[in-house]
Amino acid sequence: MIRLEGIVKTFHPGSPDAHTVFQGLNLEVGEGEFVTVIGSNGAGKSTLLNLISGKIFADAGRVFINGRDMTKLPEYRRAQYVGRIFQDPLAGTAATMTVEDNLMIAAKKGFRGLRISLNKKQRETFRNHLAHLDMGLEDRMKDNVGLLSGGQRQALTLLMMVLSRPPLILLDEHTAALDPRNAERVMDLTRIFVGDYGFTTLMVTHNMAHAIRYGSRLLMMDRGRIVLDVGGEEKAGLTVEGLVKRFSELGATASDALLLTRGGEV
Ligand SMILES: Nc1ncnc2c1ncn2[C@@H]1O[C@H](COP(=O)(O)OP(=O)(O)O)[C@@H](O)[C@H]1O
Ligand SMILES: [Mg+2]
């Protein structure tokens, strides 16, 4: 589904600020895998997602999505393959538009050119979807999104992503700005949607308990390298304590481990 081959990326090459993030990164993610990604600050997690989405280009190496070489395709040409949610709840929705108009935009994208209109039946469908989120949004369809809470906006962003049906979803600490209760709810919805629709998923999180509890495979990154890559039974056997220990073994960046949220024992 995703294949990264020999990715090299240096920011500000040739200047005193030059910073090499990746020096030949390889990664393969299979169809339907749900990969959680943890790592110290500046490890390259967001840069990894940026390279996949086409927000930035690699200096060398190749990016394949669905078997297609997308290395040189700009972000808008990859958009039909990639759904992305950021930490900032304001980023995924249009604040000055109503809830139902936001959903309509996403649904149009999902129907890929087929004509759909915001009629009574479509509104009813949206209302049902919103009710399932259990965030009180089904009664706010005519409200501007700017009036919603962060948790509601992030749940709406998730639903919009589902309606637009990208095969691949990239989540970048998408619950980090929410209070614990809303973070848990949005994580629950994420798990349900990924399970129901089988999206191939990369989820960056600073919450080690979430990284263990969710997904089928876990990657730990450190200074542009993947230092741990576990799935299956081995992932199921991971503990927060174990991950903290792995972090400390990384030496120079051990203190970063303390910046990660332990998120409670699992
Ligand atoms: N657009 C950019 N310009 C310059 N440096 C960047 C840019 N994006 C990321 N970096 C640098 O690359 C490194 C990795 O960043 P990032 O991928 O955001 O880390 P993470 O998401 O793991 O915390 C950091 O040192 C960061 O400062
Ligand atoms: Mg980041």
Which ligand is closest in space to the CA of residue 50? 1
Cβ neighbors of 251 (< 8 A, separation 6 or more) are none
Q: What is the DSSP letter of 200?
A: E
- Taking Cα atoms as reference points, which of 147, 138, 176, 174 lies closest to residue 158? 174
Both ends of the chain: CA-CA distance in Å?
30
13 — pLDDT class (breaks 50, 70, 90): very high
**pLDDT at residue 247 is higher than 80:** yes
Which one of the ligands is nearest to 226 CA? 1
List, for residues 219-246, the tens digit of each pLDDT value: 999 999 999 999 999 999 999 999 988 8
Q: What is the pLDDT of residue 210?
A: 94
- Segment 39-90, tens digit of pLDDT: 988 999 999 999 999 999 999 999 999 999 999 999 999 988 999 999 998 8
Q: What pLDDT was estimated at residue 118? A: 85
Q: What is the mean pLDDT of the chain?
A: 91
Q: What is the model's pLDDT at position 253?
A: 54
Residue 181's identity, in one-letter code, is R
Instruction: Reply yes or no on domain 1-81+166-266 having CATH 1.10.3720.10.
Output: no
Token pair listed for 3: 């294949």
| CA 142–ligand 2 middle distance (angstroms) | 34
**Is 60 exceeded by the pLDDT of residue 252?**
no
Question: For 120-136, how does the pLDDT look when each residue is reduced to its tens digit (9 = 90+)?
Answer: 999 999 999 999 999 99
Q: How far, in Å, is the centroid of ligand 2 from the Cα of 202?
A: 13
Ligand nearest to the CA of 39: 1
Q: How far apart are CA 17 and CA 66, in angstroms?
A: 35
Distance CA 170, CA 199 (A): 10
Confidence at 258, pLDDT banded by 50, 70, 90: low
pLDDT value, residue 116: 75
**Are the beta carbons of 54 and 73 closer than 8 angstroms?**
yes
Q: What is the pLDDT of residue 245?
A: 87
**Strand ranges inside 78-177, DSSP E:** 82-85, 168-172
Distances (CA, A) of 48 to 35, 74, 233, 236: 13, 15, 26, 25
* Atom from ligand 1 closest to the CA of residue 45: 22
pLDDT in tens, 204-222: 999 999 999 999 999 999 9
**Structure confidence at residue 264 (pLDDT):** 47
pLDDT tier for residue 259 given thresholds of 50, 70 and 90? low
CB 24 within 8 A of CB 205: no
* Longest alpha-carbon distance in the chain: 60
Does residue 249 carry a pLDDT above 90?
Answer: no
Distance 142 CA to ligand 1 centre (A): 38
Whole-number percent of the chain with pLDDT over 70: 93
Q: How far is the CA of 146 from the centre of ligand 1 (A)?
A: 29
What confidence category does residue 265 fall into, taking pLDDT thresholds of 50, 70 and 90?
very low
How far apart (Å, rounded) are the C-alpha atoms in residues 162 and 158?
6
263: confidence class by pLDDT, cuts 50, 70, 90: low
Q: Which residue ranges make up each domain of the chain?
A: 1-81+166-266, 93-165
Measured from CB, residues less than 6 Å from any atom of ligand 1 are 11, 19, 21, 39, 41-47
Choose among 76, 87, 24, 21: nearest CA to 53.
76
Which residues make Cβ contacts (< 8 Å) with residue 71, sequence separation at least 6?
57, 58, 61, 62, 63, 64
- Residue of 46, 51, 173 to test ligand 1 pocket, by largest number of atoms within 8 Å of CB: 46
Phi (first) and psi of residue 238, to 5 degrees: -70, 150
> Cβ distance 231 to 176 under 8 Å?
no
Distance 139 CA to ligand 1 centre (A): 40
For residue 201, give every residue at least 6 positions away whose Cβ sits within 8 Å of its Cβ, in sequence order, or none.
33, 34, 35, 168, 169, 170, 171, 194, 215
Q: What is the pLDDT at residue 114?
A: 66
User: H-helix or E-strand containing 50?
Assistant: helix 45-53
